[in-house]
Structure 1
Amino acid sequence: MTVIVAKWTIDEYHRMIDAGILSDRKVELLKGEIVEMSPEGEPYAYCSHESAEYLADLLGKGATIRQAKPITLPNDSEPEPDIAIVQRLGRKYREHHPYPENIFWLIEYANSSLEKDLERKSKIYAEAGILEYWVVNLKKLHLVVFREILDGEYATKLTLTAGTIQPPAFPDISVVVERIINS
């Protein structure tokens, strides 16, 4: 027996949201599929919040930090990364969520969603042209950094537990890894 999965466009997804069909669900659109999101445990909520505040202080007026808000990607995806570091476009975001060209980098915090974040989302983000993507493994307390897109996938994957890292979008800024993984 073949299972056929119904695929949705971003427009159809938005119409479902506007109609209130998804109001009781915590979901995101990934490659045309509506996917349930994992609930936030205490470590997840604490770490992502503290990191967002740290990055806001570090980047100042250079970027906007959006927490658990949608981004719109051309591959029928509208994920809600835990932290999106985006251009400061002010009221433009009343008209649309950040597009790939507005995004400096994304961060996901993963406990139960680790496989989805490392595999599925990394492919979706690379395919959409997101130049940098970080995943914090809350079980092992390390940071996985994806960079350098080649043939629609990230060619470089670094795993860090300490030290500093310079995001390519802000080469003069040093991000302390321990502040991101909150170890």
Structure 2
Amino acid sequence: MKNIKPYPTEEELPPVKTLNEIDFTASYSYADYMRFEFEERLEIIKGYIFEMSPAPSRIHQKISGRIYVPIYNALNGHKCEVYSAPFDVRLAKKTQEDKEVFTVVQPDIVVVCDQTKLDKRGCIGAPDIVVEILSPGNNKKELINKYEVYEEAGVKEYWIVSPSEKTFFRYILDDKGKFQPTKLLTVGEKVSTPIMPGFLLVLEEVFQD
């Protein structure tokens, strides 16, 4: 990253109580993130702060539930677990120390099959599936950066759902560690995945009014 100011992360630093105290030109880590005490939701992507929507819209919440429930039902008795936002996913590049983790995201839904990645604070490492439901507040830079960090971390499937366009798009990680795009799906089509045997997502049900 160019022209980004280092930000101190010493343990003795006081809590950050308001969003106004955030320096959006600084680089932040998960150690910094844990000091945030304000209500506004933020994500850190490659050290940069991104503001999240204050609260998801009704349509966003409805679609999230219609994806979450079939996943939850399919995973009954399975080693994998599903979580919905707010749920912190920390993506470390070198070590798992809080001060060395510069990406902390809250995807709408994640599926995690490796139980060792789960701790009391969320997930440390790549989920098997990440689901992002697009909102008007999503900006291009945020989406590009998320694509990059999910690919680098080794997320097996990255699902992008557009409520306004009623589309479902999926990237699948290949054996070289690169995302490969798949066909754009919409109402009338269904989604399955080898990660969750028996799972079937009917897009007509997901997007119905």
Instruction: Answer whether TM exceeds 0.5 for this pair.
Output: yes
Amino acid at match of 1:78: V
Amino acid at match of 2:89: I
Displacement of 1:16: 2.7
1:110 to 127, 134, 137: 134
Alignment correspondent of 1:136: 161
What SS does the corresponding residue of 1:4 show, helix, strand or coil? coil
User: In 2, distance between residues paired with 1:181 and 1:114?
Assistant: 23
Displacement of 1:82: 0.2
Amino acid at match of 2:160: V
What SS does the corresponding residue of 2:119 show, helix, strand or coil? helix
CA 1:25 to 1:7, structure 2 compared with 1: closer, same or farther past 3 Å?
farther
Asked if the contact 2:117/2:124 (under 8 Å) is kept, the reply is no
Is 1:25 the counterpart of 2:49? The answer is: no
Is 1:48 the counterpart of 2:64? The answer is: yes
Displacement of 1:9: 10
Amino acid at match of 2:179: Y
CA 1:131 to 1:182, structure 2 compared with 1: closer, same or farther past 3 Å?
farther
User: In 2, distance between residues paired with 1:126 and 1:45?
Assistant: 26
User: In 2, distance between residues paired with 1:120 and 1:78?
Assistant: 12
User: In 1, distance between residues paired with 2:159 and 2:117?
Assistant: 27
1:128-170 superposed Cα distances (whole Å, 9 cap, x missing partner):
1101000101110110111134766412233101322221312
1:16 to 15, 18, 32: 32
Alignment correspondent of 1:67: 84
Alignment correspondent of 1:164: 190
Select the structure that is richer in helix: 1
Q: Runs of 5+ in structure 1 lacking a partner?
A: none
When the two structures are superposed, what TM-score results if normalisation uses the length of structure 2? 0.71
CA 1:8 to 1:66, structure 2 compared with 1: closer, same or farther past 3 Å?
farther
Find the structure with the greater CA-based Rg. 2
1:69-98 superposed Cα distances (whole Å, 9 cap, x missing partner):
111112431111000011273995226524
Moved more, 8-17 or 105-114: 8-17
Asked if the contact 1:86/1:98 (under 8 Å) is kept, the reply is no
CA 1:96 to 1:174, structure 2 compared with 1: closer, same or farther past 3 Å?
closer
Alignment correspondent of 1:77: 103
User: In 1, distance between residues paired with 2:113 and 2:9?
Assistant: 22
Displacement of 1:173: 3.0
What SS does the corresponding residue of 2:131 show, helix, strand or coil? strand
